[in-house]
Structure 1
Amino acid sequence: MTARAAYSEHLVSRDQGKLYVRDYAGAAPTFVLMHGFPDNLHIYDALVPFLTAAGRRVVTFDFLGFGQSEKPLGATYTFQDQLRDLAAVVDELGLGKFVPVAHDSSGPTAINYTLAHPDHVAELVILNSGYDDAFPVTWPEMVSLFANQSMAPLARAIAQSPAQFGWLLAWQKNRFSSAQPTDQRDRFNVGVGRVIADNFIEEPSSGPAFISLASEFYAELARNSKHLPELKTLEMPVKVIWGEYDPYVTTDVGRDRASHFRNASFSLLRAGHWLQADLPGLVAREMLA
């Protein structure tokens, strides 16, 4: 499917700046698709047409500091701020009961919003993403570098050198795609890979937001591990959809994530970390099932 679905654009105000939102008309409950900290809403460009073709309303947005959302000087970028970003979008658009869709570092936002507002969530969808540190995960090296406080001076030096940061970014992208079939790897390089590169290289850059969130990533994981027993109290359906070629957030991580919910299903697809771009039709089928 190549046709682009029509959407309306919104700028949703937060205390620190405005969030860029795309709203695709359709039936409720609305899918609210969230991105991670190396990318932006364009990671869902291939998936959205499949969801809207099925008649569903879809909302995508850039967290503050990413994509087309504002990147104000001196803004704070924390996981609590991202929770407030999601709440602002949901409230401004009057979505009522909706379906949060998590990917990558938006796992904490989707799951913690659901814990705080279970009556607002019809269903929860979790794609390859992080949430806790109770299950062993080897995080991407670029994330680990900026998350490890003992490496902060080195990380800052690399971030201030466009050549070094560009090399690190390209190396990390290759690590993500190395286990994928050739056709998926080629699409990644011209699709999501380009989105990631632009996210950091184009000015104003999403680098400050990434660095800030990465610096508190380990602390966020530890906080969320304490919430794991609470996940069994959630009654809504939870769909955990995972790409098996992810070299970091592996299949075992996905199975463990599903095990913490009372009413969860687990689907494994032959895709990489950005499964919504690798196999959008199959991801949509699982989301709509």
Structure 2
Amino acid sequence: MSSRSITIEKVNAAPTCAEHRIDRGQGSIYARDYAGNGPTFVLMHGFPDNMHIYDHLIPYLVAGGRRVVAFDFLGFGNSDKQAGASYSFAQQLGDLHAVVEHLGLGKIVPVAHDASGPAGVNYAIDYPEHVDSLCLLNCAYGTAATKRTPEIIALFAHSDLQSLTQELLRSPEQFQWVLDFQMRKFTENLEDGQKQHLSGFLRSLIEDNIKKQPSSIPAFVQMTSQLFEEVARNTKRITQMEALDIPVKLIWGENDAYLNTGVAKDFQLHLKHASLHILPAGHWLQIDSPEQVAAIMLGQA
């Protein structure tokens, strides 16, 4: 890191923020707004987690002087989960735009992780006037030769297995077993310290998301059921992604067996101005290596 890099002593573990509720018709989005200079980093989560995957990263970004907005997509975290609500990748793209418009953010840096990759890339394509640059963290968009689908996602994504997954959801113990299996698969290549921290912090976050009522399970089930169709749609938009004339930072945890470094390199092949940064971290690199991720995002590494 350069001499301008952030030191731990400068970081407030819990920076203050303004809280917002943003109406989306079928409920409201919960967002946290941390004061600073622009362009604003707008942090997006995947599934089945929520905005708290950025709790370790945000203090470093704020200490670096940048404005940061984190929000929960409808159906997740502290955003509304109305009975009968419809969730989709198009809805998540709309959630992002609603946050930008409501808070008057102007040009932003969308920061996408996991399943929010489509929202980040498609926002840059559809709303170029609002995007300064793009930051992608272990996420997906279209097809990529080395990409693997996590077992729990594949299970719920296959429509012909719906009777099985519905039965699974009726048994909290069996669903918990599947979650535990998936967590072990995600963490098996991590260092012991990273594994212990992630297993505790992330496990609690995901279990709260699922078990706390109203639950995020309806959003999770609907989103996963649309995954393969979304990948196909985005693959058809690759030429539009290739036309993006903005800087893109690809920040990748090398120990992700699913959205692996091959996926990052595939992104790089299709982007005009992409820089690739590979870290000794897993899928949730913003939890494993927050200081290093922040330094790259802030241009200090």
Q: Give TM-score scaled by structure 2 length.
A: 0.94
Give CA-to-partner distance per residue, 1:25-47, whole Å, 9 cap, x none.
Answer: 00010000000011000000000
SS at match of 2:69: strand
Shift of 1:231: 1.4
Give the corresponding residue for 2:203: 193
Greater shift in the superposed pair: 246-255 or 91-100: 246-255
* Count of equivalent residues: 289
Shift of 1:136: 4.1
Say yes or no: does 1:145 pair with 2:155: yes
Give the corresponding residue for 1:221: 231
Q: State how far apart, in whole Å, the 1-side matches of 2:170 and 2:294 are.
A: 39
Contact 1:231–1:262 (CA under 8 A) maintained in structure 2: no
Say yes or no: does 1:168 pair with 2:178: yes
Give the corresponding residue for 1:48: 58
Say yes or no: does 1:182 pair with 2:192: yes
Contact 2:146–2:262 (CA under 8 A) maintained in structure 1: no
Q: State how far apart, in whole Å, the 2-side matches of 1:148 and 1:133 are.
A: 17
Contact 2:147–2:262 (CA under 8 A) maintained in structure 1: no
Shift of 1:3: 1.8
Give the corresponding residue for 1:236: 246
Match of 1:246 among 256, 263, 277: 256
Greater shift in the superposed pair: 60-69 or 255-264: 255-264
C-alpha spacing 1:228/1:7, structure 2 compared with 1 (3 Å): same
SS at match of 2:42: strand
Contact 1:7–1:24 (CA under 8 A) maintained in structure 2: yes
Shift of 1:86: 0.5
Structure 1 counterpart of 2:277, one-letter code: S
Shift of 1:230: 1.3
Give the corresponding residue for 1:269: 279
Say yes or no: does 1:84 pair with 2:94: yes
Give the corresponding residue for 1:283: 293
Q: Give TM-score scaled by structure 1 length.
A: 0.98
Structure 2 counterpart of 1:183, one-letter code: G
Q: What is the aligned-residue RMSD (CA, Å)? A: 0.9
Greater shift in the superposed pair: 185-194 or 203-212: 185-194
Give CA-to-partner distance per residue, 1:86-134, whole Å, 9 cap, x none.
Answer: 0110000000000000000000001001100112100100000111124
Q: State how far apart, in whole Å, the 1-side matches of 2:295 and 2:144 are.
A: 30
Q: State how far apart, in whole Å, the 1-side matches of 2:195 and 2:116 are.
A: 23
Structure 2 counterpart of 1:277, one-letter code: I
Say yes or no: does 1:69 pair with 2:74: no
Give the corresponding residue for 2:130: 120
Q: State how far apart, in whole Å, the 1-side matches of 2:265 and 2:107 are.
A: 26
Q: State how far apart, in whole Å, the 1-side matches of 2:226 and 2:234 are.
A: 12
Shift of 1:193: 2.2
Shift of 1:15: 1.3
Q: State how far apart, in whole Å, the 2-side matches of 1:113 and 1:283 are.
A: 22
Contact 2:61–2:68 (CA under 8 A) maintained in structure 1: yes
Shift of 1:189: 1.3
Say yes or no: does 1:155 pair with 2:155: no
Gaps of 5+ in 2: 1-7
Match of 1:37 among 27, 37, 47: 47
Q: State how far apart, in whole Å, the 2-side matches of 1:41 and 1:256 are.
A: 26
Give CA-to-partner distance per residue, 1:36-59, whole Å, 9 cap, x none.
Answer: 011000000000000000100000
Identity %: 48
Shift of 1:135: 3.0
Match of 2:269 among 254, 259, 265: 259
Greater shift in the superposed pair: 81-90 or 193-202: 193-202
Q: State how far apart, in whole Å, the 2-side matches of 1:130 and 1:27 are.
A: 29
Greater shift in the superposed pair: 83-92 or 156-165: 156-165
Give the corresponding residue for 2:121: 111
Q: State how far apart, in whole Å, the 2-side matches of 1:251 and 1:150 are.
A: 30
